[in-house]
Amino acid sequence: MVTVYWSPWYPSDTYASMHLLYDEPVSLLQDIKYQQNKENKKENWFQCHAFLHNVKNTFVLKFPSPISFHIDKDFGIVSSDYGKSDISVVANKQPSVTDAYTFSILNNWIFWSEESLEITSTPAYLHKPVFDGYYVPGSFNINSWFRPLEAAIQLNEKSNYVEIKRNDPMAYVKFHTNEPVVLKRFNLSNELIQLSQGCINYKRFEPNKGLSFLYKKFHANGMSKLISKEITKNIIN
C-alpha cells in the first residue's frame, strides 16, 4: 500500500477561500463504471485485463467551480456568462501551437509521497470532452519535486470559447505503482506553499534544466525531509 498526500493548490491569499470546493479525487474505474453494459459478459472491455491494468491507480481530477469565457482578438480573457464565473483563475499563455490558443486555469492539485513515485497526468480521454481542446499531459516524481499539476489547456485551431461546469473532468492522474494507492488530504500551510513555489520558480534562475538535475538539487537541499515534516503536521484525513 502506498500513501499519497494531496491538497488543492492556490497561492496563500486565495487558498483559504477555495479549498472547500474540492472533493477527493475519485477512482477512474469507479467514475465510469455506471456506463458498463452488464448484459455483455463475453467481450466487455470493462473486464479486459489490459484495460484494468491501464486504469489501475488512476484518478479523475474534476473542475471545482464553473468557468465560462471566450478569448477576444487581442487575446484577452472575457467572461461569457456575465460575471457568474470567476475568470480570474484563467491566464493566457504564449501559444505553443500555431494558430491556436494556450492558457492555464488555476484549479490545481498538489501530491506528495514519502517514497519514490512517478505520476502521469493526461487528458480525460474516457469522458466526453467538455471543451474544444485538451489538457496538456506530463509526468514527474512526486517524492523528488514538489509542485502542483498545472491545468494547462490547449485549444484546437480556431476555437476561442470555453464553458466548464462544476465537476466536469479536467484530467486523469495515474500513480505508477502496483501497490494500491491510499489518498490522504492535507492542509496546504503557508510554508508548504512557499516550498512549492520554490520549485515552480526555480526555472527562472536556471532555465532548461532536466528533471534528473532538479531531483538531485531537491534532495541535496533536504527538501524531502522538510516537506514530509510539514505535511505530517497538516494531515486532515
State residue 84's pLDDT score.
64
| Residues ≥6 apart with Cβ < 8 Å to 120 | 137, 138, 139, 173, 174, 176
Of the pLDDT bands very low, low, confident and very high (cuts 50, 70, 90), residue 134 is very high
State residue 82's pLDDT score.
57
Share of residues in the chain with pLDDT > 90 (%): 65
Buried b (16+ CB within 10 A) or exposed e, 27-43: bbbebeeeeeeeeeeee
In total, how many domains does the chain have? 1
- pLDDT, one tens digit per residue, over 63-109 is 988 888 888 776 667 777 655 667 777 888 888 999 899 988 888 99
State residue 75's pLDDT score.
62
Q: CA of 230: how far to CAs of 30, 115, 145, 186, 197, in Å?
A: 32, 16, 15, 10, 15
Q: Which residue has the higher pLDDT, 169 or 71?
A: 169
Query: Is there a contact between 78 and 69 (Cβ–Cβ < 8 Å)?
Result: yes
Containing structural domain, residue 30: 2-233
